[in-house]
Structure 1
Amino acid sequence: MNKRRVSFNLSKAKNGMSTVSVQIDDHPEIFLHSTVDPIKEARDWLDRVELRPYTAYFVLGSGLGYHIQVLLENLPEGSHIYVLEYSQEGNLLAAASKIFPNSSWIHDYRISYWATDTLRDLAAALAVDMGKRCINRVEFCRYYPAMAVYMEFYKRIEEELVPKVEELFCLNFNNSIAQGIRRMENAWFNVPYISNSPGITAFANHFAGKPVIVVAAGPSLNKNIEVLRKCTDRAIVIAAGSTMGALFAHEIRPCFLAVADTSVAMYDVLAEVLDPGAILLAPYDVQHKVVSEYPGKRLFAVDGTTMTLKGVGHLLPDTEGLKANLSVATFALNFALHCGADPIIFVGQDLSFPSDPTAAQHAKGVRASGYLRNEQKTYVPGYDGGEVPTEPVMRDIIQYLETIIKLNPGTTFINATEGGAKISGTLQLKLSEVYDQLLTENILINGIADEVFSRFEAPSNTELLKVLLDIREDITRTCEVTEGFFTGVVREIEEGIEWSEPLYDRIIGQIVSFFEELSQESIYQHLKQGIAPYRELVEYRMREGMNFQQKIENYLDLKRCLLIVLERLDTAVHESVMRLKKMQIEMIEQNGREDHERT
């Protein structure tokens, strides 16, 4: 791309807001925003953007960011904004954040900025980032005034990057579909254990004024491990599941073990270090094998980002929504805040990668791997000053933590990681200093938690069992109706003699109506998490246009996916029915033994 002389000139719009014009070489200046009302212009731009949950919004061109600000204000649940700019020299937002008041939105954790003059590996890096966010669809939002400044670059974006991102997104979408089915399946397998454990509502303000240590698996944990062992009698320790190998090796028993991973790989990590003395803290849809094999007490929360078990939530113990979408450490932090803890102390929360690529990415004993690819690399302020390398999702976690800290000014937050990234708003102390200065009294840790569990009375689950059996009947009926409907569709296609556009439209319309009617059925709320991502994919594929045969193949794929989801749901519900019946028998036998002992 030829080097051009580009100058930016700030001026005032008629409504008093700032606007900016660009002059390229000796050509007439181009205004990037309205000279009358930039916000109104941005809202008009937003009217052309389809707002739907769990969407990656790729904004091409930023200017001063009025359109991005308006998009952020209306950003649907689970969505993320990716701003693509031509190199840092064209990124006016960085300057705007320093010049204009009320521009803190620019640093919102739901926005990430990708400024580059090369597209090499950028699509792969973006796809990796999307894969970590449970994104269901992609939307490209073109801001043409800013794109006009670097037309050659954005032409390459359109020709090279957009198709590649969409291709990789579809690959990641298959992962998202698998994740949705796995979350649904896990939650229904976990129903008996959720029903027989107190929800976290019972822990509201239960740790008021007591210190809580949130332990993550960063490499800085190594230097704190011995001091951490001494802290377990003086603070409530909530450890991320990935830390248990390191803690187990040093005979450290946390009060809570926080696990949010949905995959069976997490069970493999924990299988040899499950500790009956720690209380499992998990969202409804955590890997079900971890839950069923766990030897100790269990405590569940709704993951605030999912739709899990809404259909039977009224029959389960009262609980709260805790977001687990960024990391298990943020899940643990939200629980500590729910319990009224003060202070909250971070340990092992590096949120960065060592500068030496051969250095360990995690604490000793942690069964995990990590690496930082060059195209993912970004820099953030370091704990010890200067800057440290990190990647976009870790940067988002930092921003999320900083936002939570600002929203809780009455709570003291201490970063005792002693390395990695700086977390603004925290006091930076060594863990040994925290122990000597703040953790001066022993706490009856187990007694605090045991009090809640001793008050909890397990329900009989009779009504829950009835609902589960009704769900299994609905599953059977839905399978039969689905098979019957699509058998009829295929027969009509095979017997067709003269085809016409109206006939195509009628058949496609019947299929669309079938899925719309299914979405209104009571069974749909139970399987939505498993099937909704695939419905989104089918709609996404057909946006660019397909012939009749391609559309039919797409819908037949959706039908096959629906039957798979129904089968997986039926298996999980059946297992829960069997487990609940067994629990009922065990409860009757236990009550009988207690009655016998009393007499």
Structure 2
Amino acid sequence: MSVLDSNLALIKNKQLRERLLHPINEPIDVDIHPSKKGPPTMKLNGHYLYSRYDPLKDAERFIDSQIDRDAHVYCLFGFGLGYHVQELLQKEPDKQIVVIEPYLPVVRKAVENIDLSNIFLHPNVAILCLEQGQAMIHTLNELAKQRTRWIIPNAWLKALPQSHPLKHFLEDLKIQEMSFQRFSSLMEKNFVENLKYMDADVGKLFAKFNGQKAVLVSAGPSLDDTVYSLKRLKNKYFILSVGSALRVLKENSIVPDAVIITDPQEFVYKQLDGMGFAQSLIYLSTACHSAVVNHKGLRIIAFQKGYPQAESYAGKKNLPLVDTGGSVATTALDILIKMGFSEIVLLGQDLAYSKNRSHALHSTSGVEVVSNENLLSVLANDGTMVKTTTILSIYRRWFERKVAETKHVIFKNTAEKGAVIQGMPFVHISEIISESEHLMECNFSEKINQIINQY
């Protein structure tokens, strides 16, 4: 009996077995090659899913980094050659393992070449091969209701085309998982401490600024070219700055109407310490608690989607949740949209290493000089090509999806050498200044205080 016949005979899922027996050609490129160590490795759409040298060791190391003893269910994306599944079974034999593989030819290649009997015979393993994106997303939403540990190998995510219905869903999930995996204990500690302050919830500001305009200030290199404009825009546009840009504003004698922080790490404390900033601080429920407690002005807390404790607390208190998108700027954009602004202008949102730097001068995030030729290249607003990273590209696509789903808001981007963000056309800062001249003045700091104190 061939490896294929032996594997097929063991597959409990009759529908999957029938589809593997009568495969339909799909427009994907999947190949198997021998590795340097001997065991085969797999290449999907031009991307190797495992090491070309020692795929078994590669799979073992990866799964070791993903184990969560508190999880009830593991959901693994990508069946590949079954190496990750086999490692999970060795380390967590009593947990349910759900494997999502959108490409039937991948499973077919595996059953033709690898003895997978231990996987197909194990009662805790379910293999789902669903072509339809919506059906798969429904399955994932059901899994999300359980205590599920999501496992998304980077190589598999890269191999999934941008056009695939799951791509964006998984990118967002990957960002959440990366953050939670690295900082789960710190986030929990911050959450507990931040709740003690009993600060006002950001939802009190939602829909209170209809028809007014806002500027979101980030710390990208282009901020050096546009920061001067904020003096002209003060009291015309609501100025919300991310924490890492606050020092840049201070160096230019500019006081924003509010600052936002979201990161749980202690370095956030340095973004505010010594800045003399006493206006409103908007902070995520899991943000660095020492930075929060050290702030002398009004504090406003935001509860985020994707963090179980925040979702639970907000549900009990009937408070709204905010989308985070994985970064402080994406979180800030969602909050500004919910506050009701009719126009949102981005300053310093390069999403690329323009000027061969990562941040503006004086940013508390530091200024990284970039020379890595392996970075991605993307189109900039001035028509040139600039370098960026995978994570910045994921943030850019988040911005683009948020803009596409948001009605009745005008978005503008002033980062001339920053990456193009679809739906956020480039507008020179001089045009923004000119348009602001006819706007009525508003003391936004005072307005926020009045709104919060009403409750």
TM range (shorter): 0.5 to 0.7
Please list every run of at least 4 consecutive aligned residues from structure 1 whose deviation after the TM superposition is greater than 6 angstroms. 21-24, 51-56, 61-66
Q: Distance in 2 between matches of 1:109 and 1:350?
A: 23
> 1:585: which partner in 2?
none
The alpha carbon displacement at 1:309 in A equals 5.6
Matched, 1:360 2:357: yes
Matches within 5 A, 1:84-163: 84=155, 103=163, 105=165, 108=168, 110-111=170-171, 133-135=176-178
The alpha carbon displacement at 1:308 in A equals 2.8
After superposition, the C-alpha distances for 1:163-216 in whole angstroms (9 at most, x for unaligned) are xxxxxxxxx95xx2xx222111112222232x2x32122112111111111111
Q: Are 2:258 and 2:282, in contact at CA under 8 Å, matched by a contact in 1?
A: yes
Matches within 5 A, 1:286-301: 286-301=287-302
Q: Are 2:235 and 2:444, in contact at CA under 8 Å, matched by a contact in 1?
A: yes
Q: Distance in 1 between matches of 2:436 and 2:428?
A: 12
Q: Distance in 1 between matches of 2:28 and 2:209?
A: 55
Matches within 5 A, 1:530-569: none
> 1:158: which partner in 2?
none
The SS at the match of 1:264 is coil
The SS at the match of 1:239 is strand
The SS at the match of 2:345 is strand
> 1:392: which partner in 2?
390
Matched, 1:19 2:79: no
Aligned-partner residue type, residue 376 of structure 2: T
The SS at the match of 1:212 is strand
Cα RMSD after superposing both structures: 3.9
Consecutive unaligned residues in structure 1, runs of 5 or more: 1-14, 25-31, 33-50, 98-102, 113-128, 137-171, 457-599
Name the CA shift for 1:21/1:241 in 2 (closer, same or farther; >3 Å): closer
Q: Distance in 1 between matches of 2:436 and 2:151?
A: 39
> 2:184: which partner in 1?
180
Matched, 1:57 2:56: no
Q: Are 1:82 and 1:111, in contact at CA under 8 Å, matched by a contact in 2?
A: no
Name the CA shift for 1:184/1:440 in 2 (closer, same or farther; >3 Å): same
Q: Which moved more, 1:400-409 or 1:412-421?
A: 412-421
Name the CA shift for 1:189/1:23 in 2 (closer, same or farther; >3 Å): closer
Q: Are 2:413 and 2:425, in contact at CA under 8 Å, matched by a contact in 1?
A: yes
> 1:450: which partner in 2?
449
Name the CA shift for 1:188/1:111 in 2 (closer, same or farther; >3 Å): closer
Name the CA shift for 1:54/1:402 in 2 (closer, same or farther; >3 Å): farther
Identity of aligned residues (%): 18
Name the CA shift for 1:57/1:249 in 2 (closer, same or farther; >3 Å): same
After superposition, the C-alpha distances for 1:85-119 in whole angstroms (9 at most, x for unaligned) are 7xx9xx7x75xx7xxxxx4636526349xxxxxxx
The SS at the match of 2:184 is helix
Name the CA shift for 1:387/1:81 in 2 (closer, same or farther; >3 Å): farther
The alpha carbon displacement at 1:372 in A equals 5.7
Q: Distance in 2 between matches of 1:249 and 1:54?
A: 49
TM-score, length of structure 1 as denominator length:
0.51
Name the CA shift for 1:56/1:270 in 2 (closer, same or farther; >3 Å): farther
Name the CA shift for 1:294/1:427 in 2 (closer, same or farther; >3 Å): same
Q: Are 1:259 and 1:328, in contact at CA under 8 Å, matched by a contact in 2?
A: yes
Matches within 5 A, 1:299-378: 299-308=300-309, 319-354=319-354, 359-369=356-366, 370=368, 374=372, 377-378=375-376
Aligned residues between the structures: 346
Q: Are 2:314 and 2:320, in contact at CA under 8 Å, matched by a contact in 1?
A: no
> 1:413: which partner in 2?
411
After superposition, the C-alpha distances for 1:15-48 in whole angstroms (9 at most, x for unaligned) are 9x97348899xxxxxxx9xxxxxxxxxxxxxxxx
The alpha carbon displacement at 1:430 in A equals 1.1
Name the CA shift for 1:184/1:253 in 2 (closer, same or farther; >3 Å): same
Aligned-partner residue type, residue 274 of structure 2: E
Q: Rg bigger for which structure? A: 1
Name the CA shift for 1:269/1:365 in 2 (closer, same or farther; >3 Å): same
The alpha carbon displacement at 1:252 in A equals 1.0
Q: Are 1:202 and 1:452, in contact at CA under 8 Å, matched by a contact in 2?
A: yes
Greater helix percent: which structure?
1
Matched, 1:436 2:437: no
Q: Are 1:203 and 1:452, in contact at CA under 8 Å, matched by a contact in 2?
A: yes
